[in-house]
Structure 1
Amino acid sequence: MAASGGMNALRILLIEDEARLANSVKQGLVEDGFAVEIAGSAEAAEPIIAHGALDLIVLDIGLPGKSGLELLREMRAAGNQTPVLILTARGTLEERVAGLDSGSDDYLAKPFAFAELVARIKALARRPRTAVSAILKVGDLEFDTVKRRAKIGEHNLNLSPKEKMLLELLMRNAGQVVTRDMIAETVWDSNYNSLTNLIEVFVNRLRQKIDPRADRSLIVTVRGVGYTMRAE
């Protein structure tokens, strides 16, 4: 059977503990041509994931027992790069960032339009499947996006959660300008007060932890715009 749009049937694992919602979503996806299996918990999903042959996972965060984010982090740490779409009632900016930081490929908050869910699934299915390293590297600086640990050489850095979010944003965009607006939206929420110097304080604090004795800082200020990390 082929999914609509000429796409071969995709095997999807739906990890959702609300049985009524899970069955409703499964029915709609099956009618759209997808092959769908349901797991009501992370523990029930683990043997299915271990068996492989999945094209995509639709994952709820608020599961009984092990959370969806814990399951996702474990998957990525084990090298499993199956595309994951987080589907959850937790829709704040910080929670979306946490989901993406844990290794998800997309994020859809409940309540949602079923047509949008299908569109996002198809978009993820069209992406090329390439292995993505969990370790970001710029020179001697490394950041493990799964374990949320940063180090320079063999020296571990003691960073706050927001400093880690800021560092990851700069490292993922090394060699490119990261604007103040990008930092505010990613590290803080929509209530960020642009009249404060909070971003400058965090950037300077991060600089001191990364290269306190360096003559040439990795983080460069782009006056009037934002910051960039040297791609070294």
Structure 2
Amino acid sequence: MQSRPWIEEHDKMFRWYDYWIKGIDNGVMDEPAVTVHVEGSHDTSTGDQYPTKPTEYRSLYLRPRHKLSAEPELMGPAHAAPDGFYQAPLTVSDTVQVVSWSTAAFTEPTEMMGTGAAHLFAEIDQPDTNFILRLWDLAPSGQRQLITTGYLKASQRELDEERTSEGNPYHPHNRKVPVQPGVVEEYVIRLYPFSNSFQPGHQLTAELSNAEPLADEHNSLLPPDAFHLPVGRPVTHKIYRDSEHPSRLVLPFTTN
């Protein structure tokens, strides 16, 4: 029987405590510092740092008809109309509006490991909103697995350029910068570290919303207090993805 990853990690954690607290020489410090369990392939990768494999950042661009593509959009804003969604306050409706974009089905195993980022060019009609981005591994059967998330309040969009790198933006969150309604801004959202291998026939789907759906494949498992506070006002969002506004995901593809 194959052991579960969380059992293996708990065992290693206890052995680490035995070594440092009880002084038991059990060899745990001779083992690789990082063990990564890759979703999708169920492989295990070890190394001295994370990510455990060489990676390169590649962009997947938001395109018309809710598509994600390695090729950027060629049409300008006059012809590539933005995607949009409206969110009413949850005191008015508990329906969460979601807009999504998906890749074509992968033809070969495609592995990603590390942090990521989303660069979204958006216009809103209020001084603030939430951006909640979730990436899914969508199987041909329709079943899907959440692989990572990213959260950003629009008024906290300011970046620390010295600490920001490709695929790993850094928001200092030390002041509020209100949004000017009706103006297109670039919002850079950090995606939490993840590791996933998309198998042939699977697709990567990115979902964007202002609030978190109360019940889906992932959130139905969470306690009621696990959700982010919604914005208490109606907000209309326009997501531009044309040649002048290259909205995109920047993701860590492994190279071996």
- TM-score over 0.5 for the alignment? no
**TM-score normalized with structure 1 length:** 0.28
The structure with the greater share of residues assigned to strand is 2
The structure with the greater share of residues assigned to helix is 1
For CA contacts below 8 A with separation 6 or more, give which structure has more relative contact order.
Answer: 2
**TM-score normalized with structure 2 length:** 0.26
